[in-house]
Structure 1
Amino acid sequence: MIKVKVIRTKVGKGAAGLFAAFRGPDKVLVGFPAGEADSDVIERAVYNNFGTSRGIPERPFMQNAMRNNRRDYQAMMKAEARNIVLGAVRGQDASRTKVNALKRLGIKAQGDIQAEITSLDTPPNAPSTIRQKGSSNPLIDTGEMRNSVSYKIED
């Protein structure tokens, strides 16, 4: 008769590590989060993005950036979720892994919005605005609005 002894070796934290993956921050705000940009920059961004009844046309740079890169964000979130779960099961700090994933997503979306601000050219500026600014780029005057785009990780 042969006796077989099964020895199980636990690697990482198993299910406990998996549950830890669900703690901590769970969203990233991108654009002009409150407290991250000056109120005058936020106001300018809102007027330019949505337009005004005073003649500023809608230039939806934020929506364009999100819509044009949606598949990239979905693929990135899927890959990051897999990394978070696998890391948690292996005993890695799931909270830190999740924060790092949100940072990477925030940096990508921030860059996409900034790129859209740079490349958006319709509707064009009025000739008087071009004369005043010395530029035909509708969303860039000093570059302050583009440089103020940021991200913030929240619970």
Structure 2
Amino acid sequence: MSMKITKDDVSKVLASIQELASKQVLAGIPASKAERDDDSPLNNAQLGYLQNYGSPAQNIPPREFMESGIALVQDKIEGHLQKAAKAAVNGNSEKVDVELNATGLVAQAGLRARINSGDFEELKKSTLAARRRRGRTGVKPLIDKGELRNSLTYVIRKKD
């Protein structure tokens, strides 16, 4: 006679799936990273929006980095989200959290990489002159002191 032991993990699996379904990974500039170290009237989130979409009224061309930065790493993001779903189905909440954090780190890296390597419209002579007056010699758009790039991160939060 053989004996089979069955373990009921349904509640654990359901809890893990519910946990995954209730969370979202957001990449960009959260409020906690928005403040700048200088006396700029704009915070990093406002500056990021302005640089990403441009402002014809202020003669600032769009230098889109958000959507294209995510697109650079879309396959990796999808892979981590698939692993998170598989972990949820297996009732492994810890692995769900690991994969959601990995998703955020990959998205963050994609955004920062896009700023570093982006083929953006060159800076105007007046902008370069203003940088030199402040002791800056860099000519790369979107990177002066690196505050905007370094403010790009991710958060995991409950869905509204």
State the TM-score, normalizing by the size of structure 2: 0.80
**Which residue of the partner structure matches residue 117 of structure 2?**
119
Q: Which moved more, 1:138-147 or 1:68-77?
A: 68-77
Q: In 1, are the aligned partners of 2:25 and 2:100 still within 8 Å (CA)?
A: yes
Aligned residues: 144
User: In structure 2, what is the equivalent of residue 23 of structure 1?
Assistant: 18
Deviations 1:78-121 (A, max 9, x none): 123213322x1xxx4x2x33222211111111111111111113
Runs of 4+ with >4 A deviation: none
Tell me the alpha carbon deviations over residues 118-143 of structure 1, each in whole angstroms, 9 at most, x when there is no partner.
11131111122223322221010010
Deviation of 1:6 after TM superposition, in Å, equals 4.9
Q: Is the 8 A contact 2:76 2:106 kept in 1?
A: no
Q: Distance in 2 between matches of 1:130 and 1:36?
A: 26
The alpha-carbon distance between structure 1 residues 37 and 10, as it changes in their structure 2 partners (threshold 3 A), is: farther
Which range is displaced more, 100-109 or 69-78?
Answer: 69-78
Q: Secondary structure at 1:123's aligned position in 2?
A: coil
Mapped to 2, the partners of 1:71 and 1:101 lie a distance apart of: 14
Supply the distance in 1 between the matched residues of 2:60 and 2:6 (Cα, whole angstroms).
62
- Highest relative contact order (Cα 8 Å, sep 6+), 1 or 2? 1
The partner residue of 2:83 within 79, 83, 88 is: 79
Alignment of 1:83-94 (within 5 A): 83-86=87-90, 88=91, 92=92, 94=93
Aligned residue among 2, 6, 10 for 1:10: 6
Tell me if 1:143 matches 2:146.
Answer: yes
Q: 2:59 aligns with which of 46, 55, 72?
A: 55
Query: What is the alpha-carbon distance in structure 1 between the residues aligned to residue 14 and residue 81 of structure 2?
Result: 18
SS of residue matched to 1:122? coil
In structure 2, C-alpha distance between the alignment counterparts of 1:9 and 1:108, rounded to whole Å? 41
* Partner-residue secondary structure (3-state), 2:27: strand
- Per the alignment, residue 46 of structure 1 pairs with 49
Q: Quote how far apart the aligned CAs of 1:152 are.
A: 1.0
Structure 2 gaps of 5+ residues are 36-41, 132-136
Point out where structure 1 has 5 or more consecutive residues left out of the alignment. none
TM-score (normalizing by structure 1): 0.82
